[in-house]
Structure 1
């Protein structure tokens, strides 16, 4: 599942705010498909081992959020952060990170991640099955560019980070844009 490949068709079970629900937890279930997120757009998808984890919360997610306008100037319509966490966890994490631009996608059962070939066992950390860290630039549901951390394996003793960083994707987009500007 790399450059030129079409994304797998999956239905994501999300929770969205709906004031008509009322009460202290005004959210309802809303199923979203791969097409809902990716059709007709050029987007960044980055996936990480878990919401609220140190590298994800300190560097990766804030880096994409903080560079959102620069990514837009480089032709990106949306940025999505995915994790093998349920919608409740992803929504709380987005709230705690004060996200305004990056949208979270819950892959609670890991179906999308498995079909992408990126589902790994992280029992060594007590996580169970999670996503290997990667990022992709996706145009209309097809992978345009792929950025995967090295060493893909179950129970990896490290948490490699760099290839899927916002800085790496910004650099790629700037280089890809350079020939257009000439």
Structure 2
């Protein structure tokens, strides 16, 4: 039996040039179907915006090899984190991310339904995503790379199997 991604609504912000304001963005709901239906999508799920491993290695790795992923038939690459749309936007801007799309899971709905929501109270983070990556085709999870040792308040931040090179080898 195949596993499908959960049905949720993502609260996103999109640029709208018709808005005459210094911050020309508007709210736009994106459904799971909007993201995944009829597409080959890679998700890189991270514990948090501006955090060390996520910012120095994990997300930049996917950005650097975005074109290689596209060459293997991937339509889109999304970075998902239990952060709000504003934090995700500023994080991508800070890192110079231009190809990978940011996908805010501010309420943790998608992450919870994926079974990847963990407590990170030991770091003052509250509930966050465990680190993982996955390849999804038309809503069906084709491959899933979950970091080892998943647990609440994990004292470590494993980064062994959800990197872009592992993903590229699986495609």
TM-score band w.r.t. shorter chain: over 0.9
Aligned partners of 2:13, 2:6: CA distance in 1, in Å? 21
Q: Displacement, 1:69?
A: 0.8
Distance 1:137 1:150 in 2: 18
Partner of residue 172, structure 1: 170
- Give runs of aligned pairs for residues 136-151 of structure 1, distance below 5 A: 136-151=134-149
Query: Matched residue pairs, number?
Result: 171
Paired with 1:171 and 1:30, the residues of 2 have a C-alpha distance of 34
CA displacement, residues 5-25 of structure 1 (integer Å, 9 cap, x when unaligned): 011100011111112122211
Name the structure 2 match of 1:8.
Answer: 6
Q: Is residue 28 of structure 2 the alignment partner of residue 30 of structure 1? A: yes
CA distance in structure 2 between the partners assigned to 1:167 and 1:59 by the alignment:
12
Aligned partner (choices 111, 114, 119) of residue 113 of structure 1: 111
C-alpha distance in 2 between matches for 1:4 and 1:76: 20
Partner Cα distance (1:55, 1:171) in 2: 21
- SS class of match (1:136): strand
Measured in 2, the distance between the counterparts of 1:119 and 1:74 equals 30
Within-5 A mapping of 1:127-142: 127-142=125-140
Structure 2: 5+ residue runs without aligned partners?
none
Structure number, greater radius of gyration:
1
- Runs of 5+ unmatched residues, structure 1: 174-182
> Structure 1 CA distance, aligned partners of 2:28 and 2:149?
35
SS in 2 for 1:21: coil
RMSD: 1.0
CA distance in 2, matches of 1:37, 1:100: 18
4+ residue segments displaced more than 3 Å: none
Describe how 1:73-92 pairs up with structure 2 within 5 A.
73-92=71-90
Tell me, in whole angstroms, the C-alpha distance in 2 between the residues paired with 1:161 and 1:22: 43
Q: Which of 60, 63, 75 is residue 62 of structure 1 equivalent to?
A: 60
